[in-house]
Amino acid sequence: MIEMLSPLSDFAAMIASYFAEIWEFLIFIGRVSAVIVILAGAILWFTEANTKRGKGLVFSGILLAIVVQYFVMYPPSFVVL
């Protein structure tokens, strides 16, 4: 049986699909940012150019990676369609 949807529900589904695409892009940016921050911090830390700032960048990059992974495991409701 074919189900007819109203224009409003079609519009809501379209917006939800756009949010899901944006969400995937933000997850990608978060993962890339975490890697870049960790690498920059490791370079500063191990070259002893700025050890304190390097340690801070490494630990904040790890925290960013954990937060991004949390949002990958438990996405908002508009992603689960």
Q: Name 4's Cβ contacts closer than 8 Å, sequence gap at least 6.
A: none
Distance of CA 45 to the CA centre of its chain: 25
> Torsion angle of alpha carbons 33, 62, 17, 75, nearest 10°?
-170
3-class SS at 1? coil
The model's pLDDT over 40-51, given as tens digits with 9 standing for 90+, comes to 999 999 998 999
The model's pLDDT over 3-35, given as tens digits with 9 standing for 90+, comes to 556 777 788 788 888 888 899 999 999 999 999
pTM of the entire structure? 0.76
Identity of residue 78 = F
Rounded Cα gap, residues 73 and 27, in angstroms? 11
